[in-house]
Amino acid sequence: MMWYGGFGAMGLLWPLMMLLFWGGIVVLVVWGVRAFSSRPSVGHDGAQEILRRRLASGEITQAEYEQVRKAIQG
């Protein structure tokens, strides 16, 4: 009696291949959502904005602002 239409070992490999295929699709979808999401990246401009907010709220003085701004710029 032959199982899986007579494919022998391929019959056992087929479910694994389907799992890899669908797993790859899921990975691509997750990667695409993360890559193209509208989250702002925290970088150079993010640091400048945080620094401006801290100055505006009175957390830091003008002198501290200038010192940190110079350090951020290079």
pLDDT along the chain (74 residues), means of 10: 57 87 96 81 72 93 93 83
- What does the angle CA 73 – CA 56 – CA 59 come to, to the nearest 5 degrees? 85
Query: Please, what sign has the CA dihedral across residues 43, 46, 50, 51?
Result: positive
Domain ranges for the chain, please list them: 1-39, 41-74
Q: Is the CB of residue 32 less than 8 Å from the CB of residue 26? A: no
- What does the angle CA 23 – CA 12 – CA 8 come to, to the nearest 5 degrees? 145
- The alpha carbon of 32 is separated from its chain's Cα centroid by a whole number of angstroms, namely 9
The pLDDT of residue 36: 86
